[in-house]
Amino acid sequence: MKILMLGWEFPPVYSGGLGTACYGLTKGLSKTDVEVTFVMPTGPDNIKGEFVNLIVADKLLKKLNVKKVETILTPYLSSEAYKDEYLRIMKKGNEGILYGRDLFEEVLRYSERVKLISMDEEFDVIHAHDWMTYKAGIKAKNATGKPLVVHIHATEFDRTGGNNLNQQVYDLEREGFHTADKIIAVSNYTKSIVVRHYGIKPDKVVVVHNAVEFNEKVVYNIKKTDKVVLFLGRITLQKGPDYFLEAARKVLKKDSNIKFVFAGSGDMETRMIERAAEMGISKKVLFAGFLKGKDVNKAYQMADVYVMPSVSEPFGITPLEAMRSGTPVIISKQSGVSEVINHVLKVDFWDVNDIASKILAVINYRTLTHELKHHGSLEVLKFDWKIPAKKCAKVYEGVAK
């Protein structure tokens, strides 16, 4: 079976967990009888060579073809950041590419390119990831008559906490859900949002939990005297960085020999830096910026505990990555991954007292730390991308019939 897969990022070009998920899923699919042509928006000038070499070099991914569509789609840009990026590209000169005036015009332009590609490709099913590709998936479906599967990794309700929804984004999501032949949600938590807020029948939504990539483990010999508590992810409302910071203040009142590290970037980063200064804990809170590749593994391995205090997390691959590195994990109950892992500590994102208490417990009680490390490392082994890949393949077979 051949799949036309639509996504806005793919390693080595990615800004969040979706790129990681797309890589793992397509790698898993390559071990089945599914062939994937992945259409991504853009990347560096040399991405085609590097990217194809990366895929071809991995025999498990030899079936995966990647096509690049020139556009500047990225889901996490603020309006100001988008404006700056737009102006930067326009200054490169007229290269025959027409850029839209805003993100939604880019979505439409990407969809037109995908429509043309779909009419020239041979495939059985269209698989579109998240809202920015749904319009493209719909146009490809209308142009070819092929069934459409949409994959939802995060809804507008997750990104905004349910407040001040962007109506255009919501409308694109809703259109995608209602037009699709089948919907894949990354958790039961996400499925409930799709059913409740978008008017979708439950039997149209299939839950396929994410997994984690198992590469050769790299061990870093890091000498340190301070204990390290890690936040790794986008510094945005959805991820709960403000609750992490509030918990940090409470922990530091009990133990000042702890460092709190923010690894990531986002529209709340400046505010978090200012807030740490206001609290008088800025010397204990470090901002490492956006990390990729081996730097991510290094961050997990230097941490004594990883905390994911997400306000609304459809799934959450980072706890699995931390467990893979042997790092104790604290996660919010408001996350899809909490449905499927047990050897972690779970909290309500808003309960900063509980978060602080559990951080101190992991750092101070060796038995608890050992148990979380040992059993977490064993539990995460069951999260192989072959499992969600097989579930997706079954969805493809269903809609193709």
pLDDT in tens, 123-177: 999 999 999 999 999 999 999 999 999 999 999 999 888 778 889 999 999 999 9
Question: Of 23-37, 163-177, 329-343, which one has max mean pLDDT?
Answer: 329-343
Binning pLDDT at 50, 70 and 90, where does residue 65 land? low
> Is there a single domain that holds both residue 362 and residue 335?
yes
> Is there a single domain that holds both residue 53 and residue 124?
yes
Residue 282 sits in a domain of what CATH number? 3.40.50.2000
Mean pLDDT of the 259-264 span: 94
Q: Given this model, what pLDDT does residue 101 score?
A: 53
Mean pLDDT of the 114-123 span: 89
> Is there a single domain that holds both residue 314 and residue 165?
no
> Is there a single domain that holds both residue 184 and residue 144?
yes
> Is there a single domain that holds both residue 312 and residue 393?
no
> Is there a single domain that holds both residue 241 and residue 193?
no
Residue 79 has pLDDT above 60, yes or no: no
Residue at 196 is within a domain: yes
The lowest-confidence range among 88-97, 118-127, 242-251, 332-341 is 88-97
Residue 221 has pLDDT above 60, yes or no: no
Q: Given this model, what pLDDT does residue 27 score?
A: 86
Percent above pLDDT 90 for the chain: 62
Strand stretches in 97-255, DSSP E: 125-129, 148-152, 182-185, 205-207, 227-232
Mean pLDDT of the 278-297 span: 90
Name the residue with higher pLDDT: 373 or 90.
373
Residue at 141 is within a domain: yes
What's the angle, vertex CA 152, arms to CA 205 and CA 110, rounded to 5?
Answer: 125
Residue at 370 is within a domain: yes
How many domains is the chain partitioned into structurally? 2
End-to-end CA distance of the chain: 12
Residue 52 has pLDDT above 60, yes or no: no
Rg of the chain, C-alpha, whole Å: 21
Binning pLDDT at 50, 70 and 90, where does residue 66 land? low
> Is there a single domain that holds both residue 161 and residue 255?
no
Residue at 219 is within a domain: no
On whether the CB atoms of residues 128 and 18 are closer than 8 A, the answer is no
Residue 397 has pLDDT above 50, yes or no: yes
Q: What is the mean pLDDT of the chain?
A: 84
> Is there a single domain that holds both residue 193 and residue 316?
no
Return d(Cα 1, Cα 123) in angstroms, integer.
7
Residue 270 has pLDDT above 70, yes or no: yes
> Is there a single domain that holds both residue 256 and residue 350?
yes
> Is there a single domain that holds both residue 176 and residue 54?
yes
Residue at 222 is within a domain: no
Domain housing 331? 227-382
Q: Given this model, what pLDDT does residue 332 score?
A: 97
Name the residue with higher pLDDT: 22 or 174.
174
Q: Given this model, what pLDDT does residue 227 score?
A: 92
Residue at 61 is within a domain: yes
**Cis status, amide bond into 328, omega within 30 of 0:** no
Return d(Cα 173, Cα 162) in angstroms, integer.
15
> Is there a single domain that holds both residue 109 and residue 95?
yes
Q: Given this model, what pLDDT does residue 47 score?
A: 47
Percent above pLDDT 70 for the chain: 81
Q: Given this model, what pLDDT does residue 72 score?
A: 55
Residue at 216 is within a domain: no
Mean pLDDT of the 375-388 span: 94
Binning pLDDT at 50, 70 and 90, where does residue 58 land? very low
> Is there a single domain that holds both residue 117 and residue 261?
no
Mean pLDDT of the 343-352 span: 98
Residue at 89 is within a domain: yes
Q: What is the pTM of this model?
A: 0.81
Residue 96 has pLDDT above 50, yes or no: no
On whether the CB atoms of residues 156 and 170 are closer than 8 A, the answer is yes
Q: Given this model, what pLDDT does residue 53 score?
A: 26
Mean pLDDT of the 326-334 span: 97
Return d(Cα 86, Cα 284) in angstroms, integer.
36
